[in-house]
Structure 1
Amino acid sequence: MRQLGKLGVWYPVDRLDGAGIRRLLQTVEDLGYSALWYPESLGYESLSIASFMLANTTRLIIGSSIASIYARDAFTARRGLRSLSGLYDDRFILGLGVSHAPMVERVRGHVYDKPVPAMRRYLDGVYEDPANATEWPVVIAALGPLMLKLAAERTAGAIPYNVTPEHTREARAALGPDKLLAVEQKVCLETDAAAARGLARRELHRYLTLTNYRSNWLRLGFTEAELADGGSDRFIEAMVLWGDPTKIASDLSAHLAAGATQVCIQPIHAEGDWDARDRTLTALANL
């Protein structure tokens, strides 16, 4: 797997059309970020959009964060990984996740299984040779101790989402010193507290209903009261770093100090304000 730099970008490309994705890719690559991570959406199919993004870049590593194990069988994931890696100079990382019960059952019509056993079985189907499994460019979305243990034993690393530096420290301890740990972190280039918190609450609203995230936040020491009514200020400011570039850069460095291989910046901005997104990426590119 190719070496990742300390900064990457995480962005929901399903918000963009083809021209918008090309503009984002050019911005991210020109600014020197080493990787762009993207989610499984209800718009673009995960491996198809990865191919589009790889074809429109020359150096950028593209990583799925995540491709749902319920969206395609393990054999298809394996062939997709092999195809994208072979065609695009090993610039693709297959990030897998168990998604969330509402998306799996209501949207896809599947039965949502226990996360860790389901992921273990899926990995068994992905690898041609389990003996060298940790050498494949495969990582998993791991929040809790058991999924982190599985990431350490069976994959190249973990890609946690909606976490704090405290979680990063725990994840590094669970993974060991040599595994990839690419941590998503939302940032908002806004110095007005009310405006920043408003944007943050709008972005976090949908995650507050999902059991996987809520359970992890409670493990990290947040209370049910702090997760109610859109989230307390303490919770919001832990999830979305806001302020001027110097403050945000200082806060981002806490993940690196805690053991992250890469911090994946997700710009939070008003709907459709692509200029604000690009200003954020430009301001933080030289952390």
Structure 2
Amino acid sequence: MDVGRLGVWNVGLRLGDAKRNAEAAAELEELGYGTVWLGGGPGVAEAAPLLQATSRLVVATGILNIWDHEPEAVAEQSAALDEDHPGRFLLGLGASHSALVGDRYSRPYSAMIDYLDRLDAAGSPAGSRVLAALGPKMLAASRDRAAGAHPYLVTPEHTSRARETLGAGPLLAPEVKVVLNRDLAAARDVARGHLATYLRLPNYTSNLLRLGFSEDDVAGAGSDLLVDSVFALGDVDAVARRVTEHFDAGADHIAIQAVTPEMTDVPLADWRKLAPLATAGA
């Protein structure tokens, strides 16, 4: 599956006006992006309209919550999409967070392995899925039971560590957050408005602490050090530098999340500015 050099990670493309979303997906394809990652816990069916609106673009779930969807149904729906759009649907799977799932959340790693076993039994190919992976065990499962990993809220240092665990071959497609604003203070304000929600989720804070950040860094809406490390802030050149850091650390593909004050925005203006990075070196 050719996911391309750069993709976009976005919630808004699975919400709101279907015509707007289809037109945006078609433009992203023309701009040279390889993949759209549908954020916010999508189901498989939500990829269909964007696949129908394009001819080459890969559409991925980023990430389907395993507690919300039975694997046999996911396997059937994925097979139908692949029949209609061969090689263009990527199933991203994740175990989500206890604060979001509630009482159903238990032993997430074991639950993921069981889910993968059931997908395998239903005939769903391992090569057409990736896992939301931060820690070593889930990264190893991404290597052994999937096509690779899609880490979220990470730094180039995490990308380097993930590549060590994955080894050569498996796809490593980290999400990278971007705020296009040369006013650093204003950019940090937007970043913190976005980041605060994630810093209330232990899976993310634990991973950031493993990377060497302090408890003070992950408190509240994050320290300047943390914000500047997990976001690319500034102009297109600043984003290009951060993207290069991830590629140098071992990434195969970058899923750009252009962060705005409203998470459900469809920030076409930002995607247009960043489009040259999608085809850089091509």
**Counterpart in the other structure of 1:115:** 108
SS for the counterpart of 1:127 is helix
**Counterpart in the other structure of 1:148:** 139
Provide the alpha-carbon RMSD of the alignment. Answer: 1.9
Identify if the C-alpha distance between structure 1 residues 168 and 273 changes in structure 2 by more than 3 Å, giving closer, same or farther.
closer
**Counterpart in the other structure of 1:20:** 20
- TM-score calculated relative to the size of structure 2: 0.92
Separation of aligned partners in 2, 1:14 and 1:236: 27
- Describe how 1:71-220 pairs up with structure 2 within 5 A: 71-105=68-102, 111-128=104-121, 134=126, 136-220=127-211
Instruction: Give, in angstroms, the shift of residue 27 of structure 1.
Output: 2.5
SS for the counterpart of 2:217 is helix
**Count of aligned positions:** 277
- Describe how 1:61-80 pairs up with structure 2 within 5 A: 61-80=58-77
Contact 1:245 1:283 in 2 (8 A): no
Contact 2:148 2:171 in 1 (8 A): yes
Contact 1:133 1:154 in 2 (8 A): no
SS for the counterpart of 1:113 is coil
Contact 1:160 1:182 in 2 (8 A): yes
Identify if the C-alpha distance between structure 1 residues 72 and 273 changes in structure 2 by more than 3 Å, giving closer, same or farther.
closer
Contact 2:6 2:277 in 1 (8 A): no
2:215 maps to a residue whose letter is E
1:231 maps to a residue whose letter is G
- Describe how 1:184-263 pairs up with structure 2 within 5 A: 184-263=175-254
Separation of aligned partners in 2, 1:124 and 1:227: 35
* Worse-matched range after superposition: 17-26 or 257-266: 17-26
1:9 maps to a residue whose letter is V
Identity %: 38
**Counterpart in the other structure of 2:9:** 10
Task: Return 5+ residue gaps in structure 1 as ranges.
Answer: none
SS for the counterpart of 2:216 is helix
Contact 2:140 2:166 in 1 (8 A): yes
**Counterpart in the other structure of 1:274:** 267
Separation of aligned partners in 1, 2:245 and 2:40: 28
Separation of aligned partners in 1, 2:208 and 2:16: 30
Instruction: Give, in angstroms, the shift of residue 15 of structure 1.
Output: 5.0
- TM-score calculated relative to the size of structure 1: 0.91
Contact 2:152 2:176 in 1 (8 A): yes
SS for the counterpart of 1:242 is strand
Separation of aligned partners in 1, 2:203 and 2:68: 18
Contact 2:31 2:272 in 1 (8 A): no
Instruction: Give, in angstroms, the shift of residue 16 of structure 1.
Output: 3.6
SS for the counterpart of 1:5 is coil
Instruction: Give, in angstroms, the shift of residue 25 of structure 1.
Output: 0.6
CA deviations on 1:251-285 (whole Å, 9 max, x unpaired) are: 21111011111011111124357354344433644
SS for the counterpart of 1:225 is coil
Instruction: Give, in angstroms, the shift of residue 102 of structure 1.
Output: 2.1
Separation of aligned partners in 1, 2:266 and 2:51: 24
Separation of aligned partners in 2, 1:241 and 1:167: 15
